[in-house]
A and B are shown apart, each in its own frame.
Chain A
Amino acid sequence: MIEFVNVTKSFGNNIAVDNLNLEIEEGEFVCLIGTSGSGKTTSMRMINRMVKPTSGKILINGKDIQSMMNEVNLRRSIGYVIQQVGLMPHMNIYENIIMVPKLLNWDEDRMRKTAEDLIERVDLPLDLLESYPSELSGGMQQRIGVIRALAADQKIILMDEPFGALDPITRDSLQRLVKRLQQDMNKTIVFVTHDMDEALTMADKIVVMDHGKVIQMGTPEDILLRPVNDFVREMVGEERLNQAVFEYETVTKVMRDPVKISANKTIGQAAQLMARTRVDDITRVDDILVVNDENVLVGRIDMRALTKRKSRDEKVSSIMKQVTYIKDDTVVRDAIYYIQELGHRNISVVDQEGRLIGIVTRGDIVSSVYDAFWSDYEPENEEVEEDEAFEDYEKVSAASEQHQNGGDQ
């Protein structure tokens, strides 16, 4: 729907946007994110020709906007929301909402109906229409700012850090509101922000920019799981990157090879296998998973089953029990839930056809949580084990004992 082709914008010697190529699909929510001076706002403002590119072109629906129509008509067809809201202080809320329809000479009935519909959509009372912007709170003003950008049924909405000046609670509710409106009304939104949380929660596609260049472009998942360089890692933040493992990574990342046996092997062979694995200590799993000839998981046998008095020559299928498994596209967070909340010691992982590909144990989960949150944690008195430090420690504890004794007297 919107396409940047080799777009460059320079102010004097200062290159604000450097050869930008970007495609935005209809109905897509795209976040441009970067530090200040990254060219994100300039890029956005070129879409409604508030900024003229130095070279390259921008296409909307395949047409070059520079030659398409005059800039005023272009701007009337694109919604525009800025951080400072920019409501007209001398117009009441109704007049503010219908600014663009009025420029387009809609008739009064249609404008009135549009304004009333929109104000109800954002859960504000109708009598607010007669108020003036100065009488509204910041959050309410920006709600009006948002619906003003929708009033003429614009397909594309540009938003320049619209919630940057709001308190966190108001920001949160407006984020949800805008996301809902975007999905309900199928708008294409280009959203500039420097807040990664905002981008991650709202965007379909995130464009990370720095010094006028696109550093990485992708879904929130791409950005979280595969940041291309340290800059992106830093923008996202270590904590989010680590948490992302649980939210987006599948269990295949943390699973290990299962101990398995074919269903038509004998109990004797199973016992042997179990004994061997216990000795080798490959895994602390007490279970052996049973698969059929196609490697499809069919059941499990455990120690207790083996101790039942059965002939060593009987097939393992005669003593196997039901097995819990998850598909290989299950995310780690859900696996944690099954293991922690449902009390399984371990869960087998199968692919979409039911073939056994791995097993996730409680221990694996613990170590992945440890890696994510505690990997750089070191106990304070780590040196205690070294000899010298140990002596010091003893002295200190002896001293403190004496002190305590002294205190008792």
Chain B
Amino acid sequence: MSGFIEKHGSELITKIFEHLYISLTALIIGTMIAVPIGIIISRNKKVSQIVIGVTSILQTIPSLALLAIVVPYLGVGRTPAIFALVIYSLLPILRNTVLGMEGVDHNTLDAAKGMGMNPMQLVFKVQLPLAMPILISGIRLSGTYVLAWATLAAYIGAGGMGDFIFAGLNNYNITLILVGTISITTMTLLIDYLFGKLENYLTPKTSNMIGDDV
């Protein structure tokens, strides 16, 4: 083990950061695209069904195939990997945003509208805060997916922990595979935990009773 650290230690850290960089960039871009679209399409049931349908189809493209498809257009490296991961991250975020926005009690919305909130105030002061827990859990879900799929990004030269696993596969080096897998699992659990914290933090308070919010 100490031999492994000596040999691969600095590479491991580099790859972990690469992996996180690819995944989180994809997740952030995905969130920035999916949340606004989700908010807009949630206002119209028909449109939201169509958009979610299209995103679901994108989701069914095998990840390896998608990576292969983007190469001719975007070349190899991080950019195409991030692009592919963004597409993968869209659906859970989009769907949860729409569900969250549509799930807000329509009486609450009726009252807010009837008292004179304009459409922007309705979205940002009522709908979005109340949709926040569901919305965040969509991002959380996407986060775990993206971290796992980023492994494949190594195939098109994006780097990340995939390099360890593929190197291990090619050289029949179990240690490399295990280190890669355990690192990814650890990252995923950590990110999931952090999003859990974020979810609690962003969930609006609806009670003074201790423990009600958590």
Contact = CB atoms under 8 A, between A and B. Distances in A.
A11 B161 CA distance: 59
Contacts of A50: 110, 113-114
A132 B116 contact: no
Interface of A is mostly: mixed
Given A82-B111, A86-B107, A103 B117 contact: yes
A72 interface: yes
Contacts of B114: 48, 50, 75, 80, 82, 86, 158
Contacts of A148: 115
A89 B130 contact: yes
A31 interface: no
Contact of B207 (A72, A87, A134, A145): A134
A43 to B, nearest CB: 15
A87 B115 CA distance: 11
A158 B111 CA distance: 11
Contacts of B117: 72, 103
Contacts of B116: 72-77, 100, 103
Nearest to B209: A135
Interface residues on A, range: 20 to 34
Contacts of B118: 72
A90 B115 CA distance: 17
Given A84-B107, A88-B108, A90-B129, A132 B206 contact: yes
A21 to B, nearest CB: 24
A90 B111 contact: no
Contacts of B108: 86-89
Given A90-B130, A131-B208, A135-B208, A75 B113 contact: yes
B174 to A, nearest CB: 51
A85 B114 CA distance: 12
B204 interface: yes
Interface string A133-150: 111000000000100110
Contacts of B12: none
A72 B209 CA distance: 35
Contacts of A135: 207-209
A244 B206 CA distance: 48
A99 interface: yes
Given A76-B116, A99-B112, 10 more contacts: A50-B113, A72-B116, A74-B116, A82-B107, A86-B105, A88-B126, A90-B204, A90-B206, A103-B116, A134-B212
26 contacts: A50-B110, A72-B117, A72-B118, A73-B116, A74-B116, A76-B115, A80-B114, A84-B105, A85-B111, A86-B105, A86-B107, A86-B110, A86-B112, A87-B108, A88-B112, A89-B105, A89-B108, A90-B129, A99-B115, A103-B115, A103-B116, A103-B121, A132-B206, A132-B208, A134-B206, A149-B115
